[in-house]
Amino acid sequence: ASVHTKLLAAFLIVTLLFITTTVVSLLTIVSTTRQSQLLDEAHEQVSLAQQSEHALARQMHFTDLALLSQDEVAIAKILRENNRFNDRLAKLEAAGTGEQGLIEQIRTSQDEAMAVVADMANAIRDGKLGAVTGALLRRQERLDEEISSRVGQLVEAQQNRMTRLRNSVAAANRRSLILTSAFAVTAVALALLCGFVISWSFILPVRDAQGFLDQVAAGNFGGRINVPNRDEFGVLADRMNHMSEELERFDKEQRRAAAELGRLNEELAQTSKAKSEFLANMSHELRTPMNAMLGFTEMLLDDLYGEVPTALKEPIMDIQVNGRHLLRLINDVLDLSKIEAGRMELAPGEYSVREVIDIVHVSLRSLAAEKGLEFVKSVPDDLPVAYGDNSRLTQCLMNLAGNAIKFTKQGRVEIGVELAGDELIYRVVDTGIGIPQDELENVFAEFRQVDATVTREFGGTGLGLSITKKFVEMHGGRIWVESEIGKGCTFFFAVPLRTKDEGV
């Protein structure tokens, strides 16, 4: 059954228990009311019987008074009490007390007594009462005793009936109380039992699910949850078990993939190390003959081997320019290899920031002039002495400024620096081609340029920005770029003015 059905069944059970308890209570109230009505009727009948007994006593009293006083007024009082007696007796008979036989006997004796009273009244009118007084008195005493006895029996019978009814009402009340209490206790017990069973049918699966999820959160994916419920909790348990199986499968696959990735990373690290060693060795081996070639071209141009024909000077100068370019590439590769191998070390010391700017400006102004670019510098006068590797920072700024001049066809290039708190922020601003926004994150990657057309048009290997970024980070700094297509770029790098231990 579903959770909805269970809750509905529990609600119906509680409702039925409430209705049953209410019906039992109503039946008890009806029974008690009926018993109370019977008791009231019995009490009224006892009162009527007692009133009859009282009227009989007054009738007997006035009869004795009439015999003594020979007064007809007493006869009238006897008749009045007789009427009252008969009225109460008639009401008792109409109530159906079950004493009709006794009432008939009383009425017969009462009729005889009234006959004696009639004889007494006639004797009083005739003046012959004295002659018949004895006979009348004997008859009257006999009838009075007989009627009094029977009326007493009637009163006693009504009192006994009322006592029985009172006892019956008390017993009925006790039974009703016991029955109502039993139903109430049973209803509460069944409601509690129903609530206990239903609540635990919810709580136990939730606890099992919580323990299962705790195991999953701890990374134990092989467990299962056993829920016997054939409801939503059972469906949930099946799905959680399926999830556990899938997670276990994914975990195993991930572990295998991680192991494979670890193996590949190790192979890649070894390959990268071999590449770095190869590049370092190759760069070192290439730099020696390249320096020799540049030295020979310098000596040729200086006429150390005799005067060089004019037709050969320009080719020799081309050899020298391209050789120096190749030497810079070799030096870049060597620097990158040393950095990746962890063998590059800075040589920090105090340096003049203005001197760094001046060196870069002097070194590149002729190149800017060849392209017709305005090349300016901006250095505040109050800059303090800084601490860092002067040559590497100069190399960083040289790379950025050289790129700015290379990628700017017209306009201007500006190099500058400013002090911001405890940092020196170097900047290079150009009016060149700009960099697309989606390529800004990749400009500092190794061997990366914006696209192939840039490489074909402007040349370069894409190592300069990568080496610059690594040197800046070795100083504990950061580098970033802002650019807009067609309007140029602004490269920034920030390095500490002075380190805490005066070292890098």
Cβ atoms within 10 Å of 115's Cβ, excluding its own: 12
Matching CATH number, 345-496, of 3.30.565.10, 3.20.20.70, 3.40.640.10, 3.90.79.10 = 3.30.565.10
The answer to whether residue 456 scores a pLDDT higher than 60 is no
For the question of whether the overall pTM of this predicted structure is more than 0.95, the answer is: no
Tell me: pLDDT of 320 over 50: yes
Does residue 405 contact residue 368 with C-beta atoms inside 8 Å? yes
Amino acid making up residue 80: R
User: Residue 217: enclosing H or E segment and its boundaries?
Assistant: helix 129-217
CA atoms within 13 A on the CB side of 198: 19
Structural contact between residues 192 and 72, judged by C-beta atoms closer than 8 angstroms: no
- Cα separation of 65 and 48, whole Å? 25
| Residue boundaries of the structural domains of the chain | 3-200, 219-344, 345-496
Residues 6+ positions from 317 with CB-CB distance below 8 Å:
297, 301
Helices assigned H by DSSP within 303-351:
310-341
Q: Residue 129 has what pLDDT?
A: 62
The pLDDT-based confidence of 460 (bands split at 50, 70, 90) is low
In order of 171, 173, 345, the CA distances from 186 in angstroms are 22, 19, 89
Angstrom distance (rounded) from CA 125 to CA 115: 15
List the one residue out of 451, 486, 449, 446 whose CA is nearest residue 466: 446
Is 60 exceeded by the pLDDT of residue 451?
A: no
Report the range out of 135-144, 416-425, 463-472 with the highest average pLDDT.
416-425
**Residue 504 banded pLDDT, cuts 50, 70, 90:** very low
User: Where is 174: in which H helix or E strand?
Assistant: helix 129-217
- Tens of pLDDT, residue by residue over 370-388, are 999 999 999 999 899 999 9
Average pLDDT over residues 71-88: 78
Residues ≥6 apart with Cβ < 8 Å to 248: 221, 222
What was the pLDDT predicted at 127? 66
Confidence class for position 74, pLDDT limits 50, 70, 90: confident
The reported pLDDT for the residue numbered 419 is: 94
Q: What is the CATH number of domain 219-344?
A: 1.10.287
Residues 6+ apart with CB under 8 A from 479: 444, 468, 469, 472, 473, 491, 492, 493, 494
- H/E stretch holding 248: helix 232-301
Half-sphere CA count of 419, side-chain side, radius 13 A: 14
Q: What is the pLDDT of residue 502?
A: 56
CB 469 within 8 A of CB 479: yes
| Rg of the chain (C-alpha set) | 65
Q: Which residue has the higher pLDDT, 256 or 207?
A: 256
Does residue 304 register a pLDDT over 70? yes
The span from the CA of 234 to the CA of 57, in Å, is 89
Write out the two tokens for 465.
């920005």
Task: Classify residue 433 by its DSSP letter.
Answer: S
More confident: 358 or 70: 358
Q: Which of 256, 201, 189, 255 is nearest to 227 (CA)?
A: 201
CA distance 487 to 485: 6
The residue-averaged pLDDT of 306-314 equals: 81
Percent residues over pLDDT 90 in the chain: 20
Average pLDDT of every residue of the chain: 79
Residues 6+ apart with CB under 8 A from 240: 209, 212, 213, 225
Is the pLDDT higher at 405 or at 461?
405
Amino acid at 280: A
Contact 321, 380 (CB under 8 A): no
Torsion sign across C-alpha atoms 37, 39, 42, 48: negative
How many CB atoms neighbour CB 389 within 10 A? 20
pLDDT exceeds 70 at position 491:
yes
Q: Are 179 and 117 in contact (CB under 8 A)?
A: no
pLDDT tens-digit readout, 48-69: 777 777 777 777 777 777 666 6
At 56, list the tokens.
């009989």
Q: What pLDDT, in 10s, does the model give residues 400-446?
A: 999 999 999 999 999 999 999 999 999 999 999 998 888 887 888 87
Residue 4 vs residues 8, 11, 232: alpha-carbon distances, Å: 6, 11, 9
DSSP reduced 3-state for 460: coil
Separation CA 44–CA 38 (nearest Å): 10
Question: Is pLDDT at 185 greater than 90 in this prediction?
Answer: no
| Residue, of 423 and 275, whose pLDDT is higher | 423
Q: Which residue is associated with the tokens 């807009």?
A: 484
- Band of pLDDT at residue 455, cut at 50, 70 and 90: very low
> Is the pLDDT score of 452 beyond 60?
no
Range among 15-24, 267-276, 321-330, 481-490 with highest mean pLDDT value: 481-490
Angle among Cα 291, 396, 392 to the nearest 5 degrees reads 65
Would you place residue 499 in the very low, low, confident or very high pLDDT band (cuts 50, 70, 90)?
low
Q: Is 112 exposed, middle or buried (0-12, 13-18, 19+ CB in 10 A)?
A: middle
Residue 38: pLDDT band (50, 70, 90) is: confident
